[in-house]
Amino acid sequence: MKNMPDPHVCREKVWMPFIANELGGSNPECVVVGHSSGAVAALRLAERQKLKGIIKWLGMTPTWYDANERASGYFDRPFDWAAIRGNCQFIAAVGGSLDDLVDIDIQRRVACECLGLAAGRTGAEWLELSDRDHFFTPPFNELVDLLERNVSALSSSDPKPC
């Protein structure tokens, strides 16, 4: 696995070409799993193209809260939630209620109101973990379970590796 370039500011203009060209994110059979700023990148990628699915693992810090998020470029324009939903065969999101970087209310609003996700709804699933924070320390068994559950529910064949 390659390290993401520009790991502190996570600029969209740097990350999007890297995800598409180096990580296989331009493949419509790809499942993109993004954590924190990577979750926002996954949303922006799904606005532009078809994907097998995305898992948004946290993300969406308000730009007034964090200078790096303001500088990243992801929040310079509104998100096209309809395009994101339409370009993915499944979307799942995970939030930790103890997260001190991304407020759980913001995580819930993005997942449920903007993306139309709901707890326990495979294919459009919101998973809120009451005892977790920003997930800096593995393991993340919940991620594997969420990924397997949503991919296996698709009527098409297993996703091809990216």
Q: Among all residues, which ones are annotated catalytic?
A: 36, 99, 134
Of the candidates 45, 54, 46, the residue with the CA atom closest to the CA atom of residue 16: 45
Q: Is residue 100 packed enough to be buried (19+ CB in 10 Å), middle (13-18) or exposed (0-12)?
A: exposed
Tokens of 143: 């991620």
CA distance 129 to 26: 30
CA distance 100 to 92: 21
CA distance 88 to 47: 9
